[in-house]
Amino acid sequence: MKKLKIVLQSNIFYVIISIFAILFVFISTVIIKYDTKLDNPSLIEGVITDLDIKSDKISFILKSNEKIKCNYYLKDNSNDFKNLLGKTVQISGNTSENTNNTIPNTFNYKKYLYNNKIYLSFKVDKIKVLKEENIFYKVKNKIINRIEKFQEPIKEYLNLFILGDKSLLDSDMYEVYRMNGIWHLFAISGMHISLIIVLLNKLTSKLKFKKIIISLVLLYFMFLTSFGASVMRATIFYLLKNFLDYLDIKIDNKKILLLTAIIIILFNPFIIYNSGFQYSFLITYSIMSMSNKITGNYFVKIFKISVISFLVSLPITVNLNYEINLLSLILNIVFVPLISVIIFPLSLVTFLIPFCSPILNLLINILEFLNTIFYNIKLSIVIPKFSLIMVILYYTFLMLFNLKEKKKYLTFSLIIFFINFLLPKLDSNYYVYFIDVSQGDSSLIISPHQKDVVMIDTGGDVFSDYHVSNNVMLFLKSLGISKINLLILSHGDADHAKEALEYIDKFKVGECIFNNDSYNDLELNIIKKLKDKNIKYQKDIDSLNISDNKFYFLNTKMYDNENDNSNVLYIKINGMKFLFMGDAGVSKEKDIINNYKLQNIDVLKVGHHGSNTSSSEEFIKSINPIYSIISVGKKNRYGHPKESVLNTLSNSRIYRTDLDGTIKIKLNKSSYEFKTFAP
């Protein structure tokens, strides 16, 4: 015991285990590569460990010899599947492909699954229950079923605070919480665990083994919340601290926190890439380190903690959202006591005593009302993505500030932040992106120093309410772009213009250009939004001066169809000739040949997604493109691009968004380079 005490109180011990943990993470997550050990199975048995039921499908994780992500599209009443959690089942179906993000700097689903040790996805045709769930899952299912009996919005928040599950929360309200910078208050954290411990202490105050009872409850709560990083951190920290107290070994809380982190990492080294883990440990460590500075009354302390948390988590927040809300520093003073001290404990009480539901409902309405009010006055700043070197420099200076307590190091951290903010504005290159918006069109032109940002078409899912623009806007923000100066719509078809409604609603747009055809219903809706936002728009124009370039609109005449009336754009950038065809067909191609002397086009944005109604052999021979870009959805119902078109374009280098993802061209005065973001 004495030797253990000496070891645990030695600083060199923590240096050694920290180095070991870093090497362990590097070897386990970078050097060693993992893949599924199941060879194209058709029947798999396992336990359902996570379950999400939507209106048309259920998604679940099946724990077999390895974890498998499963999707089952519902054919009948979803109520039959509510209690599948924890059951041993046999599934039949087919494997499906996990894909990378094809729009840069957006959520990478394949990487997310890999970091959660899921290497295989499965499209399920049939589910057969083989064995009922164990006692732990039985209790969890009873809790889930009890929550289901509550009315909305109470059900949503009980799901959040008891199960750590945000899936039921209204997506628009979630976005508002995120934009206000207060979403972290809904993650079950050390503060919430502390409140649970206080409550359990009072309930078990007269029991001899109360710490053991509290520990068991916290361990089950960890299971209940699907082993969320912050819950694991708070629970394991509590267990370690009590164990060390029992052994009468006095250790600084920061060292106990380090031991907690290493224990979690040894069980799952990939958790180091989990933002919840990063937030939880960085912020907790910083608050512990600067506890001597957190003085004053309750609200002053909250503000100081808010500032510390904001600074420490800044690179993580930026690389998740590419945007920060400066008002969040103040909002925590309002929302921390409201959520953590009032609504969270009341949620636990309401779960046990539903009679309290009206009070909780009132408080939730007040919470959401305040959230919406503050959202309307937010002070948001778009911040480009932090590179790895910038992250390292930022945290190095922040750590030096913490160790040496000299303000110059904090200043250096803030200088790194401002350099990162300014870097895109110093870039003298042109960039042209052909964005993967599935079966649609969207291109982006960025001039040097981001003086002008031009978007040509927006894409749009014709058959669903899915908004690809959410990912594109995130991508724009990752580049430090907060405004589209010019939005050009080739024509009014949904797959080219539908997402314009989202950009106008959620992003800054300077001006919009329509084609020379009469306005259809979609375009009239777009115009209504433009008017509501006081955004200029025009149509039927010949040319525009953008930065040092001229955009030529090759509008030959009026046709009897929307596709041929597409805006066709010819642009020359640093000597490189671009032609954007929209959905223009063979008739317009003939007129372009007759009216314009276009030769040796460098980059052709192929018309109509590679349909054989466009890209005639005569036209392609006339313009002789070096590169042909086809924007097309994977396995689309139209069979685009057509084989005949691919043959016609065979003398050029063909890029396709379904195979190559987003295509990026970087140009300067002397050279250019292509880069793709394949799925």
CATH no. for residue 93?
2.40.50.140
Same domain, 599 and 457: yes
Q: Domain range for residue 487?
A: 427-677
Cα 387 from Cα 519, distance rounded (Å): 44
Domains in the chain, number: 4
pLDDT tens-digit profile of 119-128? 989 999 999 9
Same domain, 347 and 483: no
Q: Is 2 a member of any domain?
A: no
Identify whether 543 is part of a domain.
yes
How does pLDDT run across 608-625, given as a tens digit for each residue? 999 999 999 999 999 999
Quick one: 298 and 186 in the same domain? yes
Q: Tell me, yes or no, whether 593 lies in a domain.
A: yes
Residue 327 domain-assigned? yes
Q: Where are the beta strands (DSSP E) in 349-459?
A: 380-382, 430-434, 443-446, 453-456
Of 133, 159, 181, the last residue of a domain is 133
Q: Please give the full DSSP string across 27-91, using - where no structure is assigned.
A: IIIIIS-----S-S-SEEEEEEEEEEE-SSEEEEEEESSSEEEEEEE-SS-GGGGTT-TT-EEEE
- CA dihedral (168, 172, 175, 179) positive or negative: negative
* 358 located within any domain: yes
264 and 368: one domain? yes
For residue 473, being part of any structural domain is answered with yes
Diameter over CA atoms, the chain: 95
486 and 403, same structural domain?
no
Q: For residue 640, what is the domain's CATH number?
A: 3.60.15.10
Which of 83, 102, 133 terminates a domain? The answer is 133
Per-residue pLDDT at 457: 97
Note whether residue 516 is domain-resident: yes
> Mapped to the 3 state alphabet, what secondary structure does 481-500 carry?
CCEEEEEECCCCCHHHHCCH
β-partners of residue 290 are none
Same domain, 508 and 485: yes
> Is residue 249 a contact partner of residue 8, using CB atoms and an 8 Å limit?
yes
Residue where a domain stops, chosen among 79, 105, 133: 133
The pLDDT value given to residue 151: 92
| Shared domain check, 166 and 153 | yes
Please state the φ and ψ torsions of residue 406, each to the nearest 5 degrees: -110, 130
Distance separating alpha carbons of residues 629 and 606, to the nearest angstrom: 6
Q: Are residues 497 and 623 in the same domain?
A: yes
Per-position b or e across 645-668, b if 16+ CB within 10 A of its CB: bbebbeebebbbbbebbbbbbbbe
HSE-CB for 273 with a 13 A CA cutoff: 16
| Residue 333 and residue 256 share a domain | yes
State the pLDDT at residue 77.
57
Which segments of the chain have a pLDDT < 50? none
Residue 277 shares a structural domain with residue 418: no
Predicted pLDDT at 612: 94
Residues 104, 213 share a domain: no
What pTM, to 2 d.p., does this model score?
A: 0.92
Q: Which residue in 67, 107, 63, 108 sits closest to 88, CA to CA? A: 63
Helices (runs of H) and strands (runs of E) counted in the chain: 25, 22
Residue 532 lies in a domain: yes
Residues 418 and 432 grouped into a single domain = no
